[in-house]
Structure 1
Amino acid sequence: MSKRTEKTIVDIAEELNLSVSTVSRALNDHPNISAKTKEKVKKMARKMGYRPNTMAAGLRNNKSKTIGLVVPRISMFFPATISTVIQNKLQEHGYNLLICQSNDSYEQEIALADTLYSARVDALAVSTTLYTTDFSHFDVFIENNIPLVFFDRVPKDYNVKVIKGDDYLGGLTVTKHLIERGCKDIVHISGPLTCNLYIERVAGYKSALQQHKIPFKKSRIFYHELTRENALQTCEKIFAQQPYPDGIFAANDTTAITILEYCRKIKLRVPEDIKIAGYSNDPRTEIITPSITSVDQYPALMGEKVAAALLELLQQSKPVQQKYNEEIIPIKLIARASTEGPVVKVRGKKK
C-alpha cells in the first residue's frame, strides 16, 4: 500500500488561490476573515482530508490543550462516571482529555506516566493501581511544574492535590448499620491493604466493632482483589462450616452481588438469615432482588472537584510549588432490602 500523503494548509491555499496566512486564519476563526471565506476554506479542508497538527501548534505555544487521565479500569461504574464528568467539564474550557487505563498494573502505570509526559500533556489526573506504594514515576510532573491531581486511590504525604472519599466513615457507617439491624457476627471482605481505600474502610469496620464491644476476629476478614471470581472463592470459605455469619460487609458492589447469588444458591435467605451490604452504589444494586444496601460515593461530585482542581492549577499565572492538599468527598449510606429489619438497641444506646 502506498503511504498516505498528508494535506497541508499550503495545499488548501493553492486549491483556493488564497494566501497561506489567510487559510491559517480562516481555520482558526480569526475575526478579520469573513464568514464566507471561513466557510469556503473549512469546506475545502474537509474535502481534502486536512488534519491540523495540534502537536506542532502545542510546541509553538508550549500548550497542548490536552490533559491526561489515568484510571485503573474504565469499565467500572465509579471511574467511568468520574471520567465522563471530568471530560465534559474540561471540554467546556477548551481542553481535550486523554484517558488511559492501567488495568491495575503498576508497571503499566509507570509506562503511562512516561507516555503522557512525552505527549506534553498540560496536566495529569490519576487514580492509582491497587498496588502503587512508590509514586516516584510522577516526580517528573512536579519537577516540571505540570499540574498533578490524585483522586479516589491516592498517595499519602506526597506533595500534590488529593481528592478522596471518606472511606473511614464509610466503613464505620456500614458496619454500624449492620450492628443496628441485629448483626453480631459480621464478615468484612476487603481489597488489598496496599490501597488507601481498603486501609480506611477496614479501620472503620474495626472501629464500629470496638464501639459496640463486638470482638474483632481475624477469621472474619478477607483481603483480595474484589472480583467475582475471588468473591466466589471467599464464599466457599465463609460457608464451609457453621455457624454462618449474620452479616457481610463487602468493600465493593460486585462482591456484594456475588455473595447474594451464592446465598440464594445455598438456600440462605437475605435479609432474614444474613444481611449483606456493599460499597459504591453501583446501579445494579438497586435493580437486583433483593436490592442491596450500599454506600454512595458521589462520583459526579468527585469528577467535578477533580476538573475544578486541574483548571485552578492550569489558570495560575506563575508556577506554584504544589503541596499536599486533601479534599474529602462525603459518603451516604443507601439502605435497601438486603439489610432490612428493625433497628435494635445496641448496648443500651438508643438508635
Structure 2
Amino acid sequence: MSSDKITIHDIARILNVDSSTVSRALNNSPRVTEKTKNRIIAKAQELGYQRNDLASNLRKNKTNTLGVIVPRISRHFFSSAIAGIEETAYNLGYNVIICQSLEQLEREQNTVNTLLANRVEGVLVSISMETKNYEHFEGLRKRKIPFVFFDRHLNVPETSSVLIDDFQAGFDATEHLIIKGCKKIAHFSGPMDLEIYKNRFAGYKAALLKHHIKFNDELIFNSRLMEQDGIENADKIIGLPYKVDGIFSANDVAAISALQQLKRNDFKIPEDIAIVGFSNEAISAVIEPSLTTINQPGFNIGKRAAELLISQISGNNGSVIDEKIIIQANLVERDSSQKNQGNK
C-alpha cells in the first residue's frame, strides 16, 4: 500500500477499530485509552500515514495561509522582505504563497483572485507600478480578509501599511550630494502616481530648498527605473547644454546602468558626476565604483508587515483597521559620491 494513499480508514480496517477512534487517537483525544492510542499511532507511523492538515483546516474554515504579492522577487529588497515574512509566518504557524506582479496591473488583479480562490487568510502586497487604485482588493475587504501594504502602497483610508520614511530618505540622499559639492543634481523618479516616488521626489525638492539651490524641472527624469531607463537618462544628461554634477536615482537599477553608461562616455564617477541610488541592491557594493545608496531594511519591513497582518487576522471581527508603521532607512556611503576625496 502506497504511503501517500494511507487514510484513517485504512488504519481502522487493519486494526479492526472504528475510523472515528483512529481520528480521535491521532488528535490525542482523552476519549481513547492510552493503550489504544499508542497502538493506533504506532500503526500510523509504520504505514507512513500523513495528516491532511489542509482538509482539517478547511473544515475549521482556516487555512493558516498568507498571500504575498511583490513586483519582482529578483529584487534584493523584495527577496529580503519575503525572508522576513516567511520567518515570522513560520514561527506563528502560517504558510506563505508568494506571487509576483512583474509590474503589471492585470497580473496583480489576477493574482488577488487566485489568492482568494486559495482561501488565504490575509494578504501582504507591494503594488505594481501600474496600480493606481485598489478596486481589485475590494474582494478581500468584502470577505473580511485583511490586507497590509508594505513599501509601495496606496494612500487610501482604512488600510494598513508598513513603510519607510521615503521623504526623509529622499532628502538625505539629495543633501548628501549637496554636502559633497553638487549644485546641479538630476533626479531619476519612478511613476509619480506611486506614493513612494512622490515622497522621494518631495524629499529631493526639500533638500534643494534648504540649501538655496534652484529647482530645475529639466533635471527630473520619470521612468519605470529599469536598466534601459538608466542608460537613456544618462544619455539625456550627457546631451544637456550645461554640466550636471550629481544624480539621485529612486532605485539602484537605474543608478547603476546610468553610472556604467556615463563611464562608457568617459565621465569619471564621482569626480565629474556623483551618484546616489536607492534600495542597497547586493550588486551596489561590488560595482566599480561602489554605489552610495539608501538602505531599506527589507527583512525588518517584511517581519513587521507579517506581524501586523497576523495580529489583524487573529483579531479580525470585521472592524476597520488603519495602522501605519514607519521604519527609518539609512544612507550607505560608498565611492560613487565621494567627490571631496576624489578631488584631493
State the TM-score, normalized to the length of structure 2.
Answer: 0.90
Gap change, CA 1:269 and 1:27, over 3 Å in 2: farther
Secondary structure in 1 aligned to 2:278?
coil
Secondary structure in 2 aligned to 1:83?
helix
Between stretches 269-278 and 7-16, larger displacement belongs to: 7-16
Superposed, which structure 2 residues align to 1:95-114 within 5 Å? 95-114=94-113
Amino acid at match of 2:48: A
Unaligned runs of 5+ in 2: none
1:52 aligned residue: 52
Gap change, CA 1:156 and 1:15, over 3 Å in 2: same
Deviations 1:55-80 (A, max 9, x none): x3233111111111111111111111
Residue pair 2:75, 2:281 contacting (<8 A) in 1 also: no
Superposed, which structure 2 residues align to 1:131-280 within 5 Å? 131-280=130-279
Superposed, which structure 2 residues align to 1:9-28 within 5 Å? 9-15=8-14, 17=16, 19-25=18-24, 28=27
Secondary structure in 1 aligned to 2:96?
strand
**Separation in 2 of the partners of 1:254 and 1:27?**
53
2:317 aligned residue: 319
Amino acid at match of 1:194: D
Secondary structure in 1 aligned to 2:279?
coil
Gap change, CA 1:185 and 1:94, over 3 Å in 2: same
Gap change, CA 1:221 and 1:30, over 3 Å in 2: farther
Gap change, CA 1:37 and 1:206, over 3 Å in 2: same
Identity of aligned residues (%): 36
**Separation in 1 of the partners of 2:38 and 2:335?**
61
**Separation in 1 of the partners of 2:44 and 2:335?**
61
Unaligned runs of 5+ in 1: 344-351
Post-superposition shift, 1:97? 0.6
Amino acid at match of 1:330: Q
Post-superposition shift, 1:172? 0.7
Post-superposition shift, 1:95? 0.8
Gap change, CA 1:58 and 1:244, over 3 Å in 2: same
Amino acid at match of 1:116: L
Residue pair 2:223, 2:229 contacting (<8 A) in 1 also: yes
Counterpart pick for 1:38 among 41, 44, 52: 41
CA RMSD of aligned residues (A): 2.3
Residue pair 2:126, 2:152 contacting (<8 A) in 1 also: yes
Residue pair 1:26, 1:42 contacting (<8 A) in 2 also: no
Post-superposition shift, 1:141? 2.0
Residue pair 2:11, 2:40 contacting (<8 A) in 1 also: no
Post-superposition shift, 1:197? 1.1
2:86 aligned residue: 87
2:335 aligned residue: 337
Residue pair 1:7, 1:51 contacting (<8 A) in 2 also: no
**Separation in 2 of the partners of 1:35 and 1:92?**
29
**Separation in 2 of the partners of 1:22 and 1:106?**
51
**Separation in 1 of the partners of 2:171 and 2:244?**
18
1:349 aligned residue: none
Post-superposition shift, 1:235? 1.6
Amino acid at match of 1:42: Q
Count of equivalent residues: 334
2:295 aligned residue: 296
**Separation in 2 of the partners of 1:234 and 1:39?**
68
Gap change, CA 1:239 and 1:52, over 3 Å in 2: same
**Separation in 1 of the partners of 2:259 and 2:172?**
20
**Separation in 2 of the partners of 1:79 and 1:308?**
17
Post-superposition shift, 1:309? 0.3
Gap change, CA 1:311 and 1:274, over 3 Å in 2: same
Gap change, CA 1:71 and 1:26, over 3 Å in 2: farther
Residue pair 1:181, 1:340 contacting (<8 A) in 2 also: yes
Deviations 1:27-58 (A, max 9, x none): 55668665674354134236xxx67261x323
**Separation in 2 of the partners of 1:114 and 1:315?**
22
Residue pair 1:126, 1:150 contacting (<8 A) in 2 also: yes
Residue pair 1:172, 1:204 contacting (<8 A) in 2 also: yes
Secondary structure in 2 aligned to 1:38?
helix
Amino acid at match of 1:319: N
